[in-house]
């Protein structure tokens, strides 16, 4: 039996800095105005028993000169232009079927209604050339979560009609919220105002229409087009994508086929509106309701461990079980009682068959001072209890799966490893739904539907009032998630506090308060997700492209142009500087050290190259940067 030696003394991450971080001058940089001033940032970070950062000092940017380095910008623009091609997938490419997350033989699933003569010709050709297995879903889907992926013979790719851009690495499918930021990059014109390339506009429009296909045939916008994602969605950006494509078509001198301008665009918008309304409804009905708050929550309709974790998922879940076992009473709600697990094993699991929905982990609990081998297992002379079987509770898996619907996997924002995600009305989700309601109001007006427009305006106003009631903390000047099971607002400071500014629901006073608290998140290389060093990728010290775009556009929307430009400059410089070092663009960055090097132990540790949304956000932040801070030639992609 393989055993894990577990000390009852929790390890505290090293998170304290007592001297200045002096960053070397990069060989290439956007401009002196963007270059981070060396040795101006002195973080004083105190580690709590859980590694929480309790104080961060504010970073500073030098803005003394505008020396230009156009070659560096040209290089990264060429990289992104090639990346759009390299990351594009379609149903006539064998590589579209590859899935490194599960390493299973390639299987393509068609909707049940596409049978016989309705089978797309490209699929027949793909089956012959790529030696794939072709399956059909067992029934027509009319709503989210109607098929249990575990009941299918194999995991596989879900068919989509149009080409799409994937994030990169093991993420070889079309993702829900990634696609918004990819589309923003595809549609990003030059700083001088020229429209996007027609091919990019056509690709962006096709991706949006793929989401219509998902709603029609798979029940809603999915986390991504794999069978194991049939039980959950991702943060709702569909109306934002629709309006981005519609606006680009209106401003384009050469509209992408098959639509004609004006009447054709309105017909497309009317079709898009109908699909957007259908997808919106999943967020305003059970199980996505956050108690009686009138707000929404994330919720995955599946059960048990997810299959899509790289390598062996049980390795991740074993680490989670170890963490909860080490934390005694605080971890107990997330574990199945070991004695009951053993009893169920002895009696064939009949005493409480619902108690165990995932694997059992044989572990040992050792005294804190017990010696361990380099492998982490107890030494022969260790003072350890006999091995026992531990299982994660079904309630933990509900939270774990719901965290993955949020896109923020993994953060400790909703409890350790996101175990309580489904207990919260989150700032991010409800801000996006407010924006969805305002977008639907706008589309209704364009389509000449005044009654619909009034209904959406009232829905947005009602959500705004509830966000102010439950999620706004006037004393602390930030938006926080709300635990509707305990009736308490979270105190976990998180970068999603900028979402209400991007969505336009914050009052001027609220926006001013949030802007005053930039120091909580701002670092040398951009915005850190939180002040808590949980060793998870969606917490301190990591920063992510999509949150930077939303924060920057939110700050600029409320008149904080200098703050927006400074944050943009820092993140652009981080991406460009690391690109010049190794020729890649990454999924995320350590923004404290302005580095692509990451040290993650809670969740998957890779820092994937590609990378779809970082490419898109770089182009958009660059396009929006004030001319005085922008160096080099306009993007040509």
Which three-class secondary structure string do you get for 71-128?
HHHHHHHHHHHHHHHHCEECCCCHHHHCCCCCCCCCEEEECCCCCHHHCCHHHHHHHH
Give the span between the Cα atoms of 429 and 283, in whole angstroms. 9
Q: What one-character DSSP code corresponds to residue 494?
A: B
Give the span between the Cα atoms of 380 and 466, in whole angstroms. 58
Name residue 110's beta-bridge partners: 136
Asked whether the beta carbons of 239 and 440 are under 8 A apart, the reply is: yes
| Residue 214 annotated in active site | no
Output helix, strand, coil percentages for the chain, rounded to the nearest 5. Answer: 40, 10, 45
Catalytic residue among 405, 409, 533, 596: 409
| Residue 409 annotated in active site | yes
Catalytic residue among 308, 405, 439, 587: 587
Q: How far is CA 534 from CA 255, 295, 333, 540, in A?
A: 47, 28, 20, 7
Closest to 552 (Cα-Cα) out of 501, 516, 593, 511: 501
Over its C-alpha atoms, the chain yields an Rg (Å, rounded) of: 25
Cβ-based neighbours of 100, under 8 Å, separated by 6 or more? 169, 170, 172, 310
**Quick count: other Cβ atoms within 10 Å of Cβ 445?**
14
As given in the structure block, the two tokens for residue 83 are 């990346």
For residue 114, whether the previous peptide bond is cis, meaning omega lies within 30 degrees of 0, is no
**Secondary structure (DSSP) of 258-280:** TPPTTHHHHHHHHHHHHHHHHHH
Give the span between the Cα atoms of 381 and 567, in whole angstroms. 54
Asked whether the beta carbons of 100 and 309 are under 8 A apart, the reply is: no
Q: Is 296 helix (H, G, I), strand (E, B) or coil?
A: strand
The set of catalytic residues is: 409, 587
């Amino acid at each position: 039996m393989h055993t894990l030696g577990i000390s009852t003394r929790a390890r505290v991450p090293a998170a304290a800095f007592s001297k200045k971080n002096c960053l070397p001058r990069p060989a290439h940089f956007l401009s002196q105005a963007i270059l981070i001033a060396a040795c101006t940032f002195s973080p004083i970070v105190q580690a709590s028993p859980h590694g929480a950062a309790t104080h961060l000092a504010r970073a500073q940017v030098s803005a003394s000169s505008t020396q230009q380095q156009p070659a560096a910008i040209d290089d990264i623009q060429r990289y992104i232009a090639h990346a759009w091609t390299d990351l594009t997938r379609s149903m006539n490419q064998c590589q579209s079927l590859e899935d490194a997350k599960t390493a299973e033989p390639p299987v393509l699933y068609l909707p049940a209604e596409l049978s016989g003569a309705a089978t797309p010709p490209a699929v027949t050709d793909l089956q012959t050339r790529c030696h794939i297995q072709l399956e059909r879903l067992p029934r027509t889907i009319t709503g989210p979560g109607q098929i249990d992926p575990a009941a299918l013979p194999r995991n596989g790719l879900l068919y989509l009609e149009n080409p799409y851009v994937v994030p990169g690495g093991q993420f070889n499918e079309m993702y829900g919220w990634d696609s918004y930021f990819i589309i923003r990059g595809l549609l990003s014109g030059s700083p001088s105002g020229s429209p996007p390339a027609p091919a990019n506009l056509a690709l962006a429009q096709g991706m949006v229409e793929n989401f219509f296909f998902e709603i029609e045939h798979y029940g809603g916008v999915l986390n991504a087009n794999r069978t194991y994602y049939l039980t959950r969605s991702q943060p709702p950006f569909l109306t934002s994508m629709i309006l981005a494509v519609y606006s680009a078509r209106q401003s384009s001198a050469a509209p992408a086929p098959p639509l004609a301008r004006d009447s054709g665009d309105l017909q497309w918008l009317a079709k898009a509106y109908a699909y957007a309304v259908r997808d919106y409804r999943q967020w305003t009905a059970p199980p996505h309701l956050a108690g009686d708050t009138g707000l929404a929550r994330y919720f995955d309709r599946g059960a048990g461990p997810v299959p899509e974790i790289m390598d062996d998922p049980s390795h991740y879940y074993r680490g989670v079980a170890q963490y909860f076992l080490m934390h005694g009473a605080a971890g107990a709600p997330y574990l199945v009682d070991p004695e009951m697990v053993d009893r169920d094993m002895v009696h064939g699991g009949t005493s409480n068959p619902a108690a165990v929905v995932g694997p059992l982990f044989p572990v040992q609990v050792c005294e804190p001072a017990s010696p361990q081998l380099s492998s982490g297992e107890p030494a022969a002379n260790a003072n350890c209890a006999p091995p026992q079987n531990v299982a994660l509770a079904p309630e933990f898996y509900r939270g774990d799966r719901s965290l993955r619907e949020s896109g923020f996997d993994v953060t400790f924002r909703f409890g350790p490893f996101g175990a309580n995600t489904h207990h919260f009305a989150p700032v991010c989700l409800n801000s996006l739904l407010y924006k969805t309601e305002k977008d639907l109001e706008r589309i209704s007006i364009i389509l000449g539907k005044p009654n619909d427009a009034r209904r959406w305006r009232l829905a947005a106003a009602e959500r705004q009032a509830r966000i102010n009631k439950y999620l706004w903390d006037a004393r602390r000047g930030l938006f926080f998630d709300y635990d509707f099971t305990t009736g308490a607002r979270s105190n976990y400071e998180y970068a999603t506090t900028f979402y209400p500014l991007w969505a336009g629901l914050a009052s001027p006073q609220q926006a001013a308060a949030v802007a005053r608290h930039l120091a909580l998140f701002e670092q040398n290389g951009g915005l850190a997700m939180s002040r808590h060093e949980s060793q998870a990728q969606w917490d301190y010290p990591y920063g992510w492209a999509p949150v930077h775009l939303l924060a920057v556009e939110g700050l600029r929307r409320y008149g904080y142009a200098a703050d927006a430009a400074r944050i943009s400059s820092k993140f652009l410089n981080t991406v460009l500087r690391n690109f010049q070092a190794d020729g890649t663009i990454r999924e995320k960055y350590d923004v404290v050290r302005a580095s692509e090097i990451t040290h993650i132990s809670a969740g998957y540790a890779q820092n994937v190259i590609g990378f779809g949304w970082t490419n898109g956000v770089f182009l958009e932040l660059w396009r929006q940067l004030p001319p005085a801070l922008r160096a080099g030639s306009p993007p040509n992609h």
